[in-house]
């Protein structure tokens, strides 16, 4: 296991996922109600949440972990646990696996893992020099460098603005395309970061000028927001009544999607203008359980946790139950 990665909200995520009516946890022991349970960890990473869940699940339970990253998959295969199945794919595809007829819990820990940032050859970091790759699945898709080589100025600007919420998006895109036309397109992370720094004159205190642009390109290259929207719907379709969905996000774009999805599924949409009071609106399929942020102690120990938000929802039990 990779010791450089600290799973964020580890105890809180496991507690949130296993506190629903389908899990009967008593002083760390699982009673008969939890045997044969099926749980999904949609973002294996380096296995911190997966291992913690396995430690709680009974002998007959199963846990299926997804990840697009081949290095994460290699780590997962080191875990010799017959209850664990590792799948090299996006969690957006979870409902395409025949054995997943219904599940008792789904955990999604979004964003990027510490090893991906810290390993320069992956191309995610603007602090270390490496190739401009940024792909989570290095077997598929365009690298960041290949995308910048062929994309239009307008599309590069759009991606940086939409996915990075960068106010200097057009200026950055214009500088990138100008370098490309000169035959000097950045090929490494530090070259791109330096170019961005020459354009972004003002930025948030303590934040590198390249932060938002690197985030934007990474999210776009890996279809992270599209996968999230599809994955949330897949999770809802698979969850048993009483099952829980816990999602940890690290920036506003992700959290907004999660929040709006859970809210939209927590009540039935009625036509506008109906004389219905808020409290009388029919309930949806999800019940929002709550929102959790890391403690001050966790943020002090792991600064990368500071922006994390976990939202938890439970699929409502059917009336007959």
Domain ranges of the chain: 10-114+224-315, 138-221
C-alpha closest to that of 222 among 146, 144, 279, 281:
144
| Tens digits of residue pLDDT in 61-103 | 999 999 999 999 999 999 889 999 999 999 999 998 756 668 9
Whole-structure pTM value: 0.89
Contact criterion met (CB below 8 Å) for 210 and 269:
no
pLDDT tens figures, 267-299: 866 556 555 555 555 678 999 999 999 999 999
Q: What angle do CA 164, 166, 169 make, to 5 degrees?
A: 105
CATH of 10-114+224-315 among 1.10.1420.10, 3.40.50.740, 3.40.250.10, 3.40.50.150? 3.40.50.150
Name the nearest CA neighbour of 61 among 87, 98, 23: 23
CATH entry 3.40.640.10 includes domain 138-221: no
More confident residue, 181 or 33: 181
**Percent of the chain with pLDDT strictly greater than 90:** 72
Query: Which of these, 77, 72, 79, lies nearest to 116 by C-alpha position?
Result: 72
Tell me the β-bridge partners of 87.
66
Mean pLDDT calculated for residue range 214-231: 97
């Amino acid at each position: 296991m990779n010791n450089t990665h600290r799973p964020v909200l580890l105890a809180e995520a496991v507690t949130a996922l296993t506190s629903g009516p389908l899990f009967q946890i008593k002083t760390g022991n699982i009673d008969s109600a939890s045997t044969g349970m099926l749980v999904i960890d949609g973002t294996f990473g380096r296995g911190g949440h997966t291992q913690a869940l396995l430690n709680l699940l009974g002998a007959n339970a199963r846990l299926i972990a997804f990840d697009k990253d081949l290095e994460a998959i290699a780590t997962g295969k080191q875990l010799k646990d017959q209850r664990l199945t590792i799948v090299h794919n996006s969690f957006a595809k979870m409902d395409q696996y025949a054995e997943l007829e219904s599940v008792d819990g789904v955990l999604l820990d979004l964003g990027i893992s510490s090893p991906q940032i810290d390993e320069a050859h992956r191309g995610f970091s603007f602090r270390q020099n490496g190739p401009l790759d940024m792909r989570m699945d290095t077997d598929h898709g365009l690298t960041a460098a290949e995308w910048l080589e062929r994309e239009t100025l307008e599309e590069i600007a759009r991606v940086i603005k939409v996915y990075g919420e960068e106010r200097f998006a057009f200026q950055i895109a214009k500088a990138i395309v100008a370098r490309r036309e000169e035959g000097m397109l950045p090929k490494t992370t530090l070259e791109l970061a330096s170019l961005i720094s020459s354009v972004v004159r003002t930025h948030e205190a303590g934040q590198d000028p390249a932060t938002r642009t690197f985030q934007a390109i990474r999210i776009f290259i890996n279809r992270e927001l599209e996968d999230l929207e599809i994955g949330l719907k897949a999770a809802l379709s698979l969850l048993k009544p009483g099952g829980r969905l816990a999602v940890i996000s690290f920036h506003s774009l992700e959290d907004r999607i999660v929040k709006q999805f859970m809210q939209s599924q927590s009540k039935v949409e009625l036509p506008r203008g109906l004389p219905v009071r808020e409290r009388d609106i029919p309930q949806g399929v999800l019940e929002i359980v709550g929102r959790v942020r890391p403690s001050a102690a966790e943020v002090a120990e792991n600064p990368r946790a500071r922006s994390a938000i976990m939202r938890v929802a439970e699929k409502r039990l059917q009336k007959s139950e």
